[in-house]
Amino acid sequence: MYAEVIIDQDAKALDRVFEYIVPQGMPARVGMRVIVPFGARYIQGFIVALKDSCDYDEKKLKPIKSLVEDFSAIKSEMLSLMKFMAEKYHLKLASILRLFLPSEMREGKVKELFITKYTLNSEVDITLSKTAKKQQEAIDYLKENISATSVELNEKFGASSIKSLFEKGFILKEKEQINRVPLVGDDNLKKVTLNPMQENAINTITENKTYLLHGVTGSGKTEVYMHLIEKELAKGKNAIMLVPEISLTPQIMSNFKARFGEKVALLHSGLSAGERFDEWKRLFSGEAHIAIGARSAIFAPLENLGIIIIDEEHEQSYISESNPRYNTHVVAEFRARYNSCPLVLGSATPCVESYEKAKKGEYTLIELPVRANGREMPKIQIIDMINELRAGNSGIFSSQLVSDLANVINNKKQAMIFINRRGYASFMRCRECGYIAKCSDCDVSLVYHREDNRLKCHYCGKQFKVLDRCPQCGSENIKHGAVGTEKVVQELKTLFPDVKILRMDNDTTSTKNAHQKILNEFKNSLPAILVGTQMIAKGHDFENVVLVGIVDADQSLYQTDYRSTERTFQLITQVSGRAGRSQEEGKVVLQTYAPRHYVYKFVSNYDYKGFFKKEENIREVSNFPPFSRIIRVLFADTDENYVRDLLKSCYNSAIKLKEKYPNEIIYMDAMKSPIKRMQNKYRYQILTRVRLEHSDEIEKDLFEIVDKASKNSVFFEINPQNLS
């Protein structure tokens, strides 16, 4: 027998199937990991097919050396998915397979955690000499306790006594595997009666289709998800539920753990390597039935899926922007169709692409238009910050926000202050000549962090000393610019010195379980103010939050990106949704320097449909997705001459596609990437925008041109989230 093997190496030249002989008697199966000879060494690979004849010269084929384990680590669905993703995203096979296994398993870093336990051997008569007192005590102890760990026994009775008992056959070893179960918050099992709209959603979502669940913040989507999952578990099926990022996890997890207990496995980047591995194994072995996690949990090793849910489906984090690049929606759709089960995309602010699909009937739209507990949506008041300036207030907070905050504090309630940026302040800028401090490797502005008084690069993590003199003109008038979370906290502490003020952003949550600690502290403090970035915008359900302040709403409007208005709408809706979720009415104070921008009109009326219509129209007229496809081909290398030449030759061929598709290519050009250097690699790109019709063919042609010309792999990005 012969095996087709993919070598676990991330090199373009090795990105194909290699044939090996399966030695007589080796119980090889498809999906198994194997060790094979490769050149002068041994290397790990995956069997992707078995066959009776070989395509190459048999005499040149080598035998598989050994199997890594006696089961198929890659199940057959995942092999199909591998082929699909390779075709769809032009990815290397090995890099896709790596997504399917915990890295610890691939690299063999973390071993399974075993501890030895001892029990009495009931098959023999235990007779000990009178002098062996310790041994007798150990036997008595085991009679009473039935079993005990070697650690405990050695400590109590001495390692030599235990060893001697074992050698005489009086006690038996049993190996027991310990799962490192990750920490989750306090269990809160809320019992609610579903309202008719929730009932309707649950009864509708039954088919092998994609559903868009458009429910306002607080409409009880989580409750719908849990019922859907419950229904599938009862049928003996499994479920995957994706949530956008780690900040959501503690609350959702504790809800799910309370409802489903050990059936839930958690997969996210905040876990230790060991925890991740253990959770993965619980899913793989069928011990756990629900995988909950961020993007990568879509690759959970579950078979027999009954439902896949993507909560906050509009979130950017569902698109992988580093290699291997893929869109989670597309992968989820593949798995749902493979398992013939529903895929549910839930959001209060669906992305324009998804809503467009619902409009066209590709997705089934289900709406939850009101809050589950019947409360009104919080009123959003728009404050014109230019008026504040004219009135002599040049501070961070409008007088309205300050007085509303004072009210909240007097009533012993809670407020959240949202700021769309991390760090104390952003750029370091020379007021004389305009010089901005940049990272030496990445060519992006550095961000000032007050805690350690350093400038940091958010792309590569490099740190730099703060400048006290402009390197360009020598001026000492060099300052840090806009407001960040730290600055807001500092100002609040001056305004309200006795109030508990907490901060949540990337910097305060880098340690394990830090999110949960901050959230718990906030939950248990009255009055209190939580200041934070995007992290506080999503998912949280605090009953005492009655006020949300948005310090600088325009922040996300001015990115050079066709999606910036959509993102602003989503962000403001999400963060506003944190207010007034319980008994008390909520309010939102939105500070802006552009109060007449259309996004604020729609967002303050909770008019998603109105916003969608306007945005759809703008996209259609200007030929942007979902009415076109943007393809970026990114070339990056440490050798600038090499990338530049490569770019030129690819572009010369690519531009000829305009003859083949004269009406379909709206735009095509070759250029330096906006970030010209990142992690020491020079970055160039071909950027093109094409009409939807024939977009697949154009993409394929483009890929062939680039693939032929390049020695390394090149990144293809479809409708990239950011063009840095």
**Window contacting ligand ADP (CB under 6 A); options: 74-82, 122-130, 185-193, 559-567:** 185-193
Q: For residue 447, give the 3-state DSSP assignment.
A: strand
Least distance in angstroms from the C-beta of 447 to Zn ion: 11
Among 81, 48, 101, which Cα is nearest to 335's?
Answer: 81
* Interaction of residue 458 with Zn ion, rule CB under 5 A: no
Select the span of 92-100, 304-312, 472-480, 693-701 touching Zn ion (CB under 5 A).
472-480
- Give the range of 49-57, 188-196, 634-642, 682-690 binding ligand ADP by CB under 6 A: 188-196
Closest contact distance (angstroms) between CB of 409 and ligand ADP is 24
d(CA 266, CA 247): 13
Residue 221's binding partner, choosing from Zn ion, ligand ADP, none, with beta-carbon cut-off 5 to 8 A by kind? ligand ADP
Which of 188, 475, 605, 638 contacts Zn ion by CB under 5 A? Answer: 475
Verify binding: residue 220, ligand ADP, rule CB under 6 A: yes
Strands 414-418 and 545-550: parallel
Return the H-helix or E-strand segment holding 77: helix 76-89
- Select 177 or 583, whichever has its Cβ closest to ligand ADP: 583
Q: Which of 185, 215, 250, 595 binds ligand ADP (CB under 6 A)?
A: 215
> Nearest Cα to 309, choosing from 328, 325, 287, 327?
328
Rounded CA separation 283/263 (Å): 9
Long-range contacts of 491-495 (CB under 8 A, 24+ apart): 491/395, 491/396, 491/397, 492/405, 492/417, 492/529, 492/531, 495/397, 495/402, 495/405
3-class SS string, 524-568: CCCCEEEEECHHHCCCCCCCCEEEEEECCHHHHCCCCCCCHHHHH
Q: Find all residues with CB under 8 Å of 153, minimum gap 6, and list them.
A: 118, 138, 141, 142, 162
The distance of closest approach from Cβ of residue 259 to ligand ADP in the complex, given in angstroms and rounded to an integer, is: 12
The smaller minimum CB distance to ligand ADP, of residues 321 and 541, is found at: 541
224 binds Zn ion (CB under 5 A): no
Which of ligand ADP, Zn ion, none does residue 692 bind (CB under 5 to 8 Å by kind)? none
User: What are the angstrom distances between the C-alpha of 383 and each of 11, 387, 417, 481, 595?
Assistant: 55, 8, 15, 22, 7
Distances (CA, A) of 342 to 94, 206, 241, 334: 29, 6, 12, 11
Q: Is residue 541 involved in binding ligand ADP (CB under 6 A)?
A: yes
DSSP labels for 88-136?
HH---HHHHHHHHS-HHHHHT-SPP-EEEEEEE-TTS-----TT-HHHH
Please report, for the chain, how many H helices and E strands are present, in that order: 22, 30
* DSSP-derived secondary structure for 281-321: HHHHTTS--EEEESGGGGG----SEEEEEETTTT-GGGB--
* Amino acid identity at 721: Q
What residues are paired with 266 via a beta bridge?
A: 292
**350 touches ligand ADP (CB under 6 A):** no
Q: Which is nearer to ligand ADP, 154 or 222 (CB)?
A: 222
Say if residues 309 and 242 touch (Cβ distance below 8 Å): yes
**Contacted by 233, from Zn ion, ligand ADP, none: CB < 5 to 8 Å by type:** none
Nearer to ligand ADP, 212 or 650 (CB): 212
Report in angstroms how near the CB of residue 614 gets to ligand ADP at its nearest: 24
Give me Rg for the CA atoms of the chain. 29
In the complex, least distance from residue 681 CB atom to Zn ion, rounded to whole angstroms: 11
For the bound state, the minimum distance from the C-beta of residue 391 to Zn ion, rounded and expressed in Å, comes to: 33
State the nearest-atom distance from the C-beta of 213 to ligand ADP, in Å: 9
Q: CB 444 → ligand ADP: shortest distance, Å?
A: 34
194 touching ligand ADP, by CB under 6 A: yes
Q: How far is CA 143 from CA 129, 172, 400, in A?
A: 18, 13, 73
Of Zn ion, ligand ADP, none, which one does residue 223 interact with (CB within 5 to 8 Å by kind)?
ligand ADP
Give the footprint of Zn ion on residues 357-376 (CB under 5 A). none
Please say which residue, 443 or 486, places its beta carbon nearer to Zn ion. Answer: 443
List phi, psi (to 5°) of 324. Answer: -75, 130
Rounded-to-integer distance, Cα 459 and Cα 93, Å? 27
> Residue 470 binds which entry of Zn ion, ligand ADP, none, with Cβ cut-offs from 5 to 8 Å by kind?
Zn ion
Q: Pick the stretch among 36-44, 220-228, 440-448, 658-666 that binds ligand ADP (CB under 6 A).
A: 220-228
**Residue 286 structure tokens:** 């069928």
Q: Which of 457, 492, 501, 665 binds Zn ion (CB under 5 A)?
A: 457
* Residue 544 touches ligand ADP, criterion: CB under 6 A: no
Q: Is 198 in the site for ligand ADP (CB under 6 A)?
A: yes
CA dihedral (418, 419, 424, 430) in degrees, to 10, reads -160
**Shortest Cβ distance from residue 563 to ligand ADP (Å)?**
22
Rounded to whole angstroms, the Cα distance separating 54 from 3 reads 9
User: Binding Zn ion by CB under 5 A: which of 442, 447, 599, 634?
Assistant: 442
The partner in contact with residue 192, picked from Zn ion, ligand ADP, none with C-beta cut-offs of 5 to 8 angstroms by kind, is: ligand ADP
441 near Zn ion, rule: CB under 5 A: yes
State in angstroms the smallest separation of the CB of 194 from ligand ADP: 5
Can you tell me which residue has the tokens 């309202």?
195
* Residues touching Zn ion, count (CB under 5 A): 15
Query: Cα–Cα distance between 29 and 396 in angstroms, integer?
Result: 64
Binding test (CB under 6 A) with ligand ADP, winner from 102, 182, 218, 625: 218
Taking alpha carbons only, the member of 40, 47, 76 closest to residue 64 is 47
- Asked whether position 182 contacts ligand ADP by CB under 6 A, the answer is no
Work out which of 51, 133, 190, 359 binds ligand ADP, going by CB under 6 A: 190
By CB under 6 A, residue 230 contacts ligand ADP: no
Give which of Zn ion, ligand ADP, none residue 220 binds (C-beta under 5 to 8 Å, depending on kind): ligand ADP
Nearer to ligand ADP, 198 or 249 (CB): 198
DSSP 191: -
Tell me the per-residue interface mask from 371 to 390 with ligand ADP, x by CB under 6 A, - otherwise. -xx-----------------
Q: Which part of the chain contacts ligand ADP (CB under 6 A), choosing from 88-96, 215-223, 321-329, 483-491?
A: 215-223
Give the footprint of Zn ion on residues 557-576 (CB under 5 A): none
Residues in contact with ligand ADP by the rule CB under 6 A: 190, 192-195, 198, 215, 217-223, 372-373, 541
